[in-house]
Structure 1
Amino acid sequence: MSISRKKAGNRFVISERMMGCLGRYLIFSLGLLLVAAGISPGHGKKIKSAVFLSPKLVLSPGSVVNEYYHNIDFPRGHIGLKRFDAEVVDEAGNPVPLHETYLHHWIIQPYYARKGVELSEQDLRKNLGFSGQDSHRNLESGSEPDFILVKNGGLCRNTLRHYFGLGSETRKTSTHVPDPYGIEIGNPEEIPDGYEFRWLLNTHAIDTRGVEDRLGCTECRCDLYNITVDEYGRPITSDYKGGLLCCYDKTQCRVRKGFDNGRTRTLYLKYTVTWVDWDSSVLPVTIYILDITDSWKKTKGSTGINDEHNCHVEYDVKPCKSNCAGDDDVSLDVERKSLAMPFNGYIVYGVCHQHAGGRGAALYREDGGLICSSTPTYGKGVEPGNEAGYIVGMSTCYPEPVKVTKGETLVFESNYSSAIGHTGVMGLFYIMVAQQLPDHGNSFPALIRGNLKTVNLSGLVAVAGVVALVVIAAVVYRRQNRQQDGYEPLST
């Protein structure tokens, strides 16, 4: 079959094939413009973003800030979180390098606060720290707590309950939730009567300017901090050499003699939140955090539910004693943990959190099949984001959705160099799990038609520009063929 076009003076008829090509070009161009205008083709929603600053972090050489800030600035309403990015900046907004202020970690945690009640720093520290208590128990016992934590899906919900959290790697680690998924926040139907939805921020920063041992300070070695009791006055056992118990808020790491100890400066955690307004086009994902120190054991009758997990959060890496030769490929500490998953769903995102010395982590099926891996990037210079000797980024895994069934055992592996010893390191793996997959029956043109409802003025102007380009292309085509006479067969 062939379709013809006939030249007639200055007029001509465009073939059906050409119309199809132009139509596809127009649709593709519209899609690109929608993305450029901030419209996500995955769910037809306008992407929104806002930048905030934490309360002041006042630091002097060797000092530690580990504060909990409640009711921080954050987007309000029923939304779908798409990403959370953070970095430490000075008063002028300039990024601060890790070799001056080490960002041990930051975490954000949603919670419900009873209306009219102001929470004290002491309450926050006691109930929201890694060794905090579970506010839900107070609610279940019949009393009315001042706040109720909104926890992630597990597995370590009594210690690792936050939604987002990273450390030195934060500048170059993607927290982006892939389309069409989002982390559902602020659903009014889930807020208890008499409460309001709020956000908590915990920032742990160590000023290492002028310290005797920069790595030792960032690994919170107890001897460098001259600490024998924890922040609650409880004795620390002699076999605990370093970690969170020894570098709590307002502790001091040892500074070199003669170093000017009076140079106090004010810093901030600058955080950028990206989100979409919630509706049925956004598919919810649930956050789960796996911990290599989890004490869970597979026993008869064990289900893998959250109450069975005791996560210690941090551990030590002992130095290699033989075949070391300073070669990290040989001197490797490998920790593995088999964990039963308490959900049915699809893994769509994964990333690991490790400290200096980390060599990456991976998540496997029980038969050894790789699901997701995450490896560190080490800096090679002095500028922020490329500090030599520090992990400045972790690769993020976006697998084709991996189906996991409830009770299925997955194997988490965390690797560290053991060329030297390390204290207080972490091996955490964040995964996001969707309960359902997108409907692939929605074609790209249909998505664009839906997105046109949300295009802003600048987007419409851009679309008009593309239409003009298509018209110009048609005119050019006509002029190129103006010299041809009669009929020209076009095969299909």
Structure 2
Amino acid sequence: MYQHMRAWILSCFLWIATVHAQITTETSLDLSAGKIKSAVFKSPAFILGPGEVQDKWYYGIDFPKGHIALKGFDAEVVNEDGNSVPLSETYLHHWVVNRFYHKTPITEEQRKPKNEILTSSDYISAGNDGICQANVLSQYFGLGSETRHTSTFIPDPYGIIVGDPNEIPEGYEESWLLNVHAIDTRGVVNSLGCTECKCDLYNVTEDSYHRPLRKDYIGGLRCCYDGTQCQLKEGVQGEKIKLYLKYTIHWMDWEETIVPVKTYILDATDTGERSVDQSSSHDYVGCHVEYDIPQCSEGIHSPGDCIDIREAHMVIPQGGDVIYAVAHQHTGGAGITLYGQDGREICTSLPIYGEGREPGNETGYIVGMGSCYPEPGSVQIHGGETLKLQSKYSKERSHTGVMGLFYLLIADPMENRALYSHQPEQASSLHVNRFLPIGLLIAFALLAGLGLAAYSIKKRREDGYEYIIA
């Protein structure tokens, strides 16, 4: 009975999250008067056998051309028939989409999948606005297992402006690259260990560049690079499967009414250390991207006391209105919060865990992250302000190679107010009225959840945290 009710509550939350994203999209479409375009593409095929890892870069991927405003980017792993593939079979560690400039023309040889980022002078990185750069977190979009239920849509009148001919260096063209990191977990001895890239399960002692691993490096990206193999159960024989990353891009052709946003990616491992990278126009910030979570000490029984908190402080060079924010975490994640210098909460992004078998609701996996959409002008960050990023993970089990990343879109406040005030009056009331049903649904789901809260806490204490099945 309890399991059925838990599944029903989760399905309510997933439905609410999906409707929330759809309503946000519909509202934007109304304000944009049908100007938003969408197109669906697929990455080149990648083939995986049981326990195998795919981690390649694809250059010159299919992407809308011209001077445009990006409004969203959604993705998922599908098979040859176009069907969604469950995380319990192919774990999507992450995908990222980067922009770059290249000398014309780009050849078919250059388009072939690569195991690493190209560093030739023929390529110039055109990464986001910071603050982790030099090929570290320079992407515009990117998620992981949570991709199916995380909204990336950018509301009106905002957009990420790309393809501006005035910004493209002479003799170069703008293009896009895609990185897909997927891990096949069919027949492996430890699903969670494989998805967390534990080095002993991959039997590796050096990274993809043939550099020896540190003695204290027990798991993470350096152990599950392209072509590695996670340990299988004895006698496992499985067929290879052909997969694709299907991605959907939403955009508008550039026009003066669009308000540009700056894209920042914050990292809970950011040490604040800086050194100039000669291959980039940006300073490199000491973002280590991944970190480990130790298990709770014996004798701690309260789930609230068994939480790891990783905290980083960073300065955003140019402030403005917060338009959108969302976090990226791995299994065990308990949410990320961004605070202002005065302690005010700017955004909290919480994970949604699956409780079933079907794609998008896989037990023990993060299948969605909550996105923040403040009313324009209601949440601001001041230029030069020191922000605090706080990433929380459960310590009921140890974890390796986890991430605490935070996507943040900011727009100039003066331009925001001037342009947004020109929107029709009915647009504002439409925004409020359309969200009333969502508020009621959330209230309903919360009330239903309260009826299970006491039992849920008791159950977690008895059974422990529910993770990916080993």
Q: Under a length normalisation based on structure 1, what TM-score does the superposition of the two structures give?
A: 0.76
Structure-2 residue corresponding to 1:154: 130
What's the offset of the Cα at 1:207? 0.2
Structure-1 residue corresponding to 2:327: 352
The equivalences for 1:72-151 within 5 A come to: 72-118=61-107, 120=110, 125-127=115-117, 145-151=121-127
Q: CA contact under 8 A between 2:160 and 2:260: conserved in structure 1?
A: yes
- The CA distance in 2 between the partners of 1:231 and 1:430, in whole Å, is 27
**Which protein is bigger by CA-based radius of gyration?**
1
Answering whether residue 239 of structure 2 is matched by residue 257 of structure 1, we say no
Q: CA contact under 8 A between 1:334 and 1:416: conserved in structure 2?
A: yes
Structure-2 residue corresponding to 1:442: 422
Letter aligned with residue 111 of structure 1: F
| Structure 1 residue matching 2:227: 3-state secondary structure | coil
Structure-2 residue corresponding to 1:14: none
Letter aligned with residue 127 of structure 2: K
Answering whether residue 179 of structure 2 is matched by residue 190 of structure 1, we say no
Answering whether residue 361 of structure 2 is matched by residue 372 of structure 1, we say no
Runs of at least 5 residues in structure 2 that lack an aligned partner in the other structure: 1-24, 275-280, 429-470
What's the offset of the Cα at 1:405? 1.9
- The CA distance in 1 between the partners of 2:92 and 2:139, in whole Å, is 17
Letter aligned with residue 79 of structure 2: D
- The CA distance in 2 between the partners of 1:62 and 1:443, in whole Å, is 53
Q: CA contact under 8 A between 2:290 and 2:403: conserved in structure 1?
A: yes
Runs of at least 5 residues in structure 1 that lack an aligned partner in the other structure: 1-34, 136-144, 299-304, 449-492
Q: CA contact under 8 A between 2:57 and 2:113: conserved in structure 1?
A: no
1:468-490 Cα distance to aligned partner (Å, 9 max, x none): xxxxxxxxxxxxxxxxxxxxxxx
Q: Under a length normalisation based on structure 2, what TM-score does the superposition of the two structures give?
A: 0.79
Structure-1 residue corresponding to 2:450: none
- The CA distance in 2 between the partners of 1:365 and 1:80, in whole Å, is 28
Moved more, 397-406 or 226-235: 397-406
| Structure 2 residue matching 1:188: 3-state secondary structure | coil
What's the offset of the Cα at 1:244? 0.3
| Structure 2 residue matching 1:154: 3-state secondary structure | coil
Answering whether residue 363 of structure 2 is matched by residue 388 of structure 1, we say yes
CA 1:411–1:297: 2 relative to 1, 3 Å: farther
What's the offset of the Cα at 1:446? 9.6
| Structure 2 residue matching 1:223: 3-state secondary structure | helix
- List structure 1 runs of 4+ shifted beyond 4 angstroms: 119-126, 445-448
CA 1:150–1:440: 2 relative to 1, 3 Å: closer
| Structure 1 residue matching 2:304: 3-state secondary structure | coil
Q: CA contact under 8 A between 1:286 and 1:433: conserved in structure 2?
A: yes
1:230-254 Cα distance to aligned partner (Å, 9 max, x none): 1111100110000000000000000
Letter aligned with residue 94 of structure 1: N
Residue 292 of structure 1 is aligned with which of 253, 268, 283? 268
Q: CA contact under 8 A between 1:371 and 1:399: conserved in structure 2?
A: no
Letter aligned with residue 85 of structure 1: D
Structure-2 residue corresponding to 1:283: 259
- Over the aligned positions, Cα root-mean-square deviation in angstroms equals 2.3
1:250-306 Cα distance to aligned partner (Å, 9 max, x none): 000000001114x101010000001111110111001100001111169xxxxxx96
CA 1:41–1:209: 2 relative to 1, 3 Å: same
| Structure 2 residue matching 1:270: 3-state secondary structure | strand
- The CA distance in 1 between the partners of 2:370 and 2:113, in whole Å, is 36
Structure 1 vs Structure 2: percent identity of aligned residues?
51
Letter aligned with residue 329 of structure 2: Q
CA 1:186–1:123: 2 relative to 1, 3 Å: same
Q: CA contact under 8 A between 1:314 and 1:424: conserved in structure 2?
A: yes
| Structure 1 residue matching 2:127: 3-state secondary structure | coil
- The CA distance in 2 between the partners of 1:356 and 1:443, in whole Å, is 42
Structure-1 residue corresponding to 2:384: 407
Q: CA contact under 8 A between 2:57 and 2:117: conserved in structure 1?
A: no
What's the offset of the Cα at 1:125? 4.4
Structure-2 residue corresponding to 1:397: 372
CA 1:121–1:231: 2 relative to 1, 3 Å: farther
- The CA distance in 1 between the partners of 2:317 and 2:348, in whole Å, is 21
- The CA distance in 1 between the partners of 2:174 and 2:273, in whole Å, is 36
What's the offset of the Cα at 1:348? 1.0
- The CA distance in 1 between the partners of 2:337 and 2:395, in whole Å, is 18
Structure-2 residue corresponding to 1:330: 305
CA 1:224–1:39: 2 relative to 1, 3 Å: closer
What's the offset of the Cα at 1:190? 1.3
Letter aligned with residue 286 of structure 1: K
CA 1:323–1:371: 2 relative to 1, 3 Å: farther
Q: CA contact under 8 A between 1:117 and 1:146: conserved in structure 2?
A: no
